Amino acid sequence: MNSRPVKTKVAIIGATGYTAVELIKILLRHPHVEIVAATTRREDNPPISEIHPCLTGRLDLRCELLDPATIAAKADVAFACLPHVASMESIPLLLAEGLKVIDLSADYRLTDPDVYEQWYGHVHTDPTRLGTVVYGLPELYRKQIPGHKLIANPGCYTSTAILGISPLLCGGYIDPQGIIIDGKSGVSGAGRTPKLGTLFSECNESVTAYSVGNHRHAPEIDQVLSDVSGTNTEVVFTPHLIPMDRGLLCSIYAPAIKKTTEQELMQVFSDFYRESHFVRIVDHLPRTKDVIHTNFCDITVRLSRGIIHVFSALDNLVKGASGVAVQNFNLMCGYDETTALVDSPQ
């Protein structure tokens, strides 16, 4: 008699990118998962190990074109690692075929189709689903995730900022209109698809702000913080590109609106994340070096001249994308939330 437990069969949609390879590396360590499909627009069915040489000898699979019925015939869950717009074109078809979907793009994060159109410059083609999809940040929405068929995985800057701000807003320590977020990301945050600004000779040995006042993660941060705190929140968010492969740090500033101490604030954070294995409240100033290749987000808080300073760091490709996607998958499928995520995915 075969006593091997039944595995959940998963498909990686858009398997040739950075989040996909990170996801595959994590899922290969998952005891209850079998990766059965990987898609690309390439028509020559390349082996996945040709696309990602680090997978040589680890995953024997050829990429295929995305055909929802074919994928549904062999998989139970699809991870969509596509750019926005491409995602909302495919996801309704995957759901119609009975697949559960975790979407790593921004297409289902915002609840209002008009806000989506304003920030992404595209009419949303699946607007009735917006607002019914759970925002996949387990530290805030853990109880809502099980049972859902579509999860909107958060953005990387957004997770870093939201995790750093939520305890303060919910505790009434800061004004929802007075928050400044200074974000810094490694270059893999822009994906593997070539772009002029992320060429080595353009960004190496250089630091620059970008998308000042119009970065697409700002409305997402506003929406989630407003939801969790019950107060209309509008942040000032400025991202910077840093010449490193991966890692993301947010330095967050907000005036304290009630009398407090650094010690009290540290306790507020510790209490807020008591149930959250992947958020570490640390005494030291967080460094990207300590969180890359892990699913941890390190956070600390300081109080100086009446301004609360929060420093929050994570790996944009793990806790900021594929690691949290697996956290969501685990919750969706009834596995322990930390499965496959506690050791380094490298």
Ligand X SMILES: NC(=O)c1ccc[n+]([C@@H]2O[C@H](COP(=O)([O-])OP(=O)(O)OC[C@H]3O[C@@H](n4cnc5c(N)ncnc54)[C@H](OP(=O)(O)O)[C@@H]3O)[C@@H](O)[C@H]2O)c1
Asked if 188 interacts with ligand X (CB under 6 A), we say yes
Cα 238 from Cα 213, distance rounded (Å): 7
State which residue, 37 or 254, has the beta carbon closest to ligand X: 37
- Tell me the closest approach of the beta carbon of residue 136 to ligand X, in angstroms: 11
> How many C-beta neighbours within 10 Å does residue 85 have?
16
Does residue 156 bind ligand X (CB under 6 A)? yes
Query: Which residue, 339, 291, 277, 327, is CA-closest to 136?
Result: 327
H helix or E strand, kind and range, residue 272: helix 262-272
Shortest Cβ 195–ligand X spacing (Å): 9
Give the CA-trace dihedral at 186, 189, 194, 196, to 10 degrees: -60
Among 26, 35, 101, 104, binds ligand X (CB under 6 A): 104
CA–CA distance, 223 with 17 (Å, rounded to integer): 28
192 binds ligand X (CB under 6 A): yes
Q: Does residue 81 interact with ligand X by CB under 6 A?
A: yes
Residue span binding ligand X (CB under 6 A) among the ranges 81-89, 120-128, 173-181, 203-211: 81-89
The stretch among 28-36, 78-86, 171-179, 222-230 that binds ligand X (CB under 6 A) is: 78-86
Binding flag, residue 127, ligand X (CB under 6 A): no
Closest CA to 183 of 205, 165, 201: 165
Contacts of ligand X in 12-71 (CB under 6 A): 14-20, 40-42
Q: Which residue has the tokens 């929060």?
A: 310
Comparing CB distances to ligand X, the nearer of 108 and 273 is 108
Among residues 24 and 179, whose Cβ is nearest to ligand X?
24
Tell me which of 54, 63, 81, 156 is the catalytic residue. Answer: 156
For the record, the structure tokens of 339 come out as 């499965």
Radius of gyration over every alpha carbon of the chain, rounded to an integer in angstroms = 20
**N- to C-terminal Cα distance for the chain?**
35
DSSP-derived 3-state class of residue 153: coil
Given candidates 321, 331, 340, 341, which one binds ligand X under the rule CB under 6 A? Answer: 321
Pairing mode, strands 134-135 and 297-304: unpaired
By CB under 6 A, residue 323 contacts ligand X: no
Site for ligand X contains 193 (CB under 6 A): yes
Stretch binding ligand X (CB under 6 A), from 1-9, 185-193, 273-281, 284-292? 185-193
Q: Which amino acid is at 321?
A: A
Strands 297-304 and 307-314: antiparallel
Closest to ligand X by CB, 156 or 168: 156
Mark whether 81 is an active-site residue. no
Binding segment toward ligand X, per CB under 6 A, in 68-76, 92-100, 190-198, 271-279: 190-198
Whole-Å CA distances, 157 to 181, 185, 259: 10, 8, 29
Binding site for ligand X (CB under 6 A): 14-20, 40-42, 81-84, 86, 104-105, 155-156, 188-189, 191-193, 316-317, 320-321
Which active-site residues does the annotation give? 156
